[in-house]
């Protein structure tokens, strides 16, 4: 297989949650550039992503769904993807949320909403997509983990718990499904300049402390996760299973 073919996603269908902005949009555009058609899921419109994918020359379909409140939409999401796009080869579970607060004041609602979106919905998206992928004998699942899959963090209890769970679920699914032709891996983004980290970026002391530890000497961008996403979705990674791949500018190596 040529080097180009190893990274070629022409004819593949990618289903991506949280693709309307930030890291999800960066992942969607990278997959589209590699040849994949994109089905995006989000609770708000993805018009900007749709326009950018269309400019690349790939098909795009949007499914509006709230995965923080309930897992009820999941079966319909996969069914609509198969009906409209004609297949499903790649699942990227990127939708996520965070709540910050002191442990002594952290609410049950902030715990439940983050755990539902970041972990429960992710698992059941894997389950629903995995049923189809098992039937066709192939598929790539990419979950979005975090530095908090490896570290404890501060003031983000439900986020840390959920992202630690993402790492565990990723390994579990890889153990069960690798022999069925399905690769399950995760990307652990470092500190990215997105809406999710606005509170940190706007806190001078925390922002300076974070930047001083990153060997690359900058915050990451959505484009930085694109290469890792294509790698884990493409034939080049067919023997990569259960990996939590940091894309962190060297943070964990420090």
Stated length of the chain: 254
237 assigned to some structural domain: yes
Question: Among the options 123, 159, 177, 191, which is catalytic?
Answer: 159
Give CA–CA dist 93/106, Å, rounded. Answer: 26
Is residue 230 included in any domain, yes or no? yes
Can 159 be counted among the known catalytic residues?
yes
Measure the CA–CA gap between 121 and 87, rounded to whole angstroms: 21
Query: Is residue 254 included in any domain, yes or no?
Result: no
- Per-residue confidence in pLDDT tens, the chain, 254 aa: 888 899 999 999 999 999 998 999 999 999 999 999 999 999 988 999 999 999 999 999 999 999 999 999 999 999 999 999 999 999 999 999 999 999 999 999 999 999 999 999 999 999 999 999 999 999 999 999 999 999 999 999 999 999 999 999 999 999 999 999 999 999 999 999 888 788 888 898 889 999 999 999 999 999 999 999 999 999 999 999 999 999 999 999 99
Contact predicate 88/82, CB 8 Å: yes
Domain contains 68: yes
* Both tokens assigned to 83: 């009906």
DSSP β-ladder status, 90-93 and 13-17: parallel
Q: Look up the domain containing 199 and give its range.
A: 3-246
Per the structure, the count of domains in the chain is 1
Indicate the helix (H) or strand (E) that contains 245. strand 244-247
Query: Counting beta carbons within 10 angstroms of the beta carbon of residue 39, is it exposed (0 to 12), middle (13 to 18) or buried (19 or more)?
Result: buried
Q: What is the reported pTM?
A: 0.96
Closest CA to 30 of 48, 52, 45, 47: 52
């Amino acid at each position: 297989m040529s080097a180009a073919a190893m990274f070629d996603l022409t004819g593949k269908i990618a289903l991506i949650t949280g693709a309307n902005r930030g890291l999800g949009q960066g992942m969607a555009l990278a997959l589209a550039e590699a040849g994949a058609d994109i089905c995006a899921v989000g609770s708000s419109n993805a018009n900007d992503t749709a326009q950018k994918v269309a400019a690349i020359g790939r098909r795009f379909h949007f499914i509006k769904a709230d995965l923080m409140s309930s897992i009820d939409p999941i079966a319909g999401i996969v069914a609509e993807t198969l009906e409209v796009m004609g297949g499903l080869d790649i699942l990227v579970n990127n939708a996520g949320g965070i709540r910050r607060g002191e442990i002594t004041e952290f609410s049950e609602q902030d715990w439940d909403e983050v755990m539902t979106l970041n972990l429960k919905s992710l698992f059941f998206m894997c389950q629903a997509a995995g049923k189809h992928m098992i039937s066709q004998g192939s598929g790539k699942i990419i979950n979005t983990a975090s530095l908090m899959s490896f570290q404890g963090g501060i003031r983000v209890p439900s986020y840390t718990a959920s992202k630690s769970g993402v790492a565990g679920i990723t390994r579990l699914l890889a153990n069960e499904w690798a022999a069925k032709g399905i690769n399950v891996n995760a990307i652990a983004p470092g500190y990215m300049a997105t809406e999710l980290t606005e509170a940190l970026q706007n806190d001078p002391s925390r922002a300076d402390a974070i930047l001083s530890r990153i060997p690359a000497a900058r915050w990451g961008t959505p484009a930085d996760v694109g290469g890792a996403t294509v790698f884990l979705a493409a034939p080049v990674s067919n023997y990569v299973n259960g990996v939590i791949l940091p894309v962190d500018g060297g943070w964990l190596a420090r």
